[in-house]
Amino acid sequence: MSEWEPKITAFLCNWCSYGAADLAGIGRMQHTPAHRVIRVPCSGRISPKFILAAFRRGVDGIWVSG
């Protein structure tokens, strides 16, 4: 771990992006390990509170994907 890696909270929709992530895994695609995934039943559930709460706990970036 010589280089700094960001910590990114990823809010992924169960039906869309989470599925895409799953498919990417099945396809053994290489991608960044920076994301910490939180699966949500729907990205419409994301409230600004969640985003602020994540920032307050010190994440470097946030990615909301439906």
Partner 1 sequence: MMKGLLEYMGTEPGRLHFSWISSAESTKFVEVANTVAEEVKALGPAKHFIKEKAEVA
Partner 2 sequence: MLEYVGKIRDIARRLLSENKVDVVIGFRQGTIPMMSEPAVVSRPEDVDELYWDYNCGINLTNYLTKRTDRIGVVAKGCDSRNIVTHIVENQIKREQLYIIGVPCHGMIDRSRILAALDGQEPTAVVVNDTEIVVTGPGFERKFNRQEYLQNNCATCIHRNPVVYDELVAEKVEEQKLDDRYADVKKIEAMSPDEKWAFFDKILAPCLRCYACRNACPLCYCPTCFVDESRPQWLGKSIDPTDVRTFHFLRAYHCAGRCTDCGACERACPVNIPVRLLTKKLNMDVEDLYGFEPGMVPDVRPPLDVYRPDDPGGFIK
Residues interacting with partner 2, by CB under 8 A? 48-49, 52-53, 56
Q: ∠ at Cα 52 (50, 54), nearest 5°? A: 70
User: Minimum distance from CB of 21 to partner 1 (Å)?
Assistant: 6
User: Minimum distance from CB of 42 to partner 2 (Å)?
Assistant: 13
Q: 46 near 40, Cβ under 8 Å?
A: yes
Show the site string, 21-40: x = touches partner 1 by CB under 8 A, - = not: xxxx-xx-xxxx-xx-----
Query: DSSP letters along 4-56, please?
Result: ----EEEEEETTTHHHHHHHHHHTT----S-EEEEEES-GGG--HHHHHHHHH
Binding of partner 1 by 17 (CB under 8 A)? yes
Positions in the binding site for partner 1 (CB under 8 A): 4-6, 8, 10, 15-24, 26-27, 29-32, 34-35, 48, 51-52, 55-66
